[in-house]
Amino acid sequence: MSVRVAILLSGGGSNMVRLVESMTGDHPARPVLVMSNDPAAGGLARATALGVDTAAVDHRLFAGDRAAFEDVLHARLMQAEPDLICLAGFMRILTGDFTARWAGRMLNIHPSLLPKYRGLHTHARALEAGDTEAGCTVHEVTADLDDGPIRGQARVPVMPDDCAESLAARVLKAEHRLYPAVVRRFAGGDRTPLMLG
């Protein structure tokens, strides 16, 4: 029996595409749902084109009531009966109640070498700090933002002429290598961190 994966996103979904494309053949998982908090998210159309079911729960309809939004999100997720949730550019902060429901069964990809630069503007912050190395992290999601157990990291160099955009593009390529590789291991029951150079 395959591990059933739901992917949550808010934007274009390039990580989602890499995840979906990876889940074929002897991969232990299969994508069952791609879901967004934004009905206009480009990733939803890309998922449909890949033949994956999609759904949207527009967070703006809940007027700041995070718990009510998450209840609907959770109910829709349950219809797909996922074993594993992958956040892939999902830009809503989740409450402790929601993360507890999926404890040990929810991964996130973050564009920094955690524990450095939790939250937003990771690339600008790395440049401002004069870092010579940047990267991305896949971690389990817990109640604290960008703080759960690390399941994989990929490192890239920072070039002397980098701006936030050029660094983001290099890190995104590393994300596309890292996330599918970590999900394959994780879905197969291996939680040892994967460290890519």
Which residues are CB-contacts of 83 (< 8 A; sequence separation ≥ 6)?
3, 4, 5, 29, 105, 187
- DSSP secondary structure of 102-167: TTTSEEEEESS-TTSS-SS-HHHHHHHTT-SEEEEEEEE--SSTT-S-EEEEEEEEPPTT--HHHH
How many Cβ atoms from other residues are within 10 Å of residue 165's Cβ? 9
The reply to whether omega before 82 is within 30° of 0 (cis) is no
Give the interface segment with ligand GAR, choosing from 12-20, 27-35, 58-66, 72-80 (CB under 6 A). 12-20
- Nearest approach in angstroms of CB 15 to ligand GAR is 3
Separation of CA 9 from chain center: 7
By CB under 6 A, what part of segment 13-52 binds ligand GAR? 13-15, 43
- Nearest approach in angstroms of CB 120 to ligand GAR is 7
- Please give the helix or strand (H or E) that residue 67 lies within, else none: helix 66-79
CA nearest neighbour of 37 among 12, 9, 17? 9
User: Can you tell me whether residue 54 is helix, strand or coil?
Assistant: strand
- Nearest approach in angstroms of CB 45 to ligand GAR is 13
Per CB under 6 A, 139 contacts ligand GAR: no
Per CB under 6 A, 111 contacts ligand GAR: yes
Give the interface segment with ligand GAR, choosing from 21-29, 44-52, 78-86, 104-112 (CB under 6 A). 104-112
109, 138, 174, 187: residue in contact with ligand GAR (rule CB under 6 A): 109
Q: Which of 59, 110, 123, 139 is catalytic?
A: 110
Give the interface segment with ligand GAR, choosing from 26-34, 66-74, 103-111, 152-160 (CB under 6 A). 103-111
Per CB under 6 A, 110 contacts ligand GAR: yes
Active site residue 176: no
Residues serving a catalytic function are: 110
Which stretches of the chain bind ligand GAR, using CB under 6 A? 9, 11-15, 43, 88-89, 109-111, 172, 175
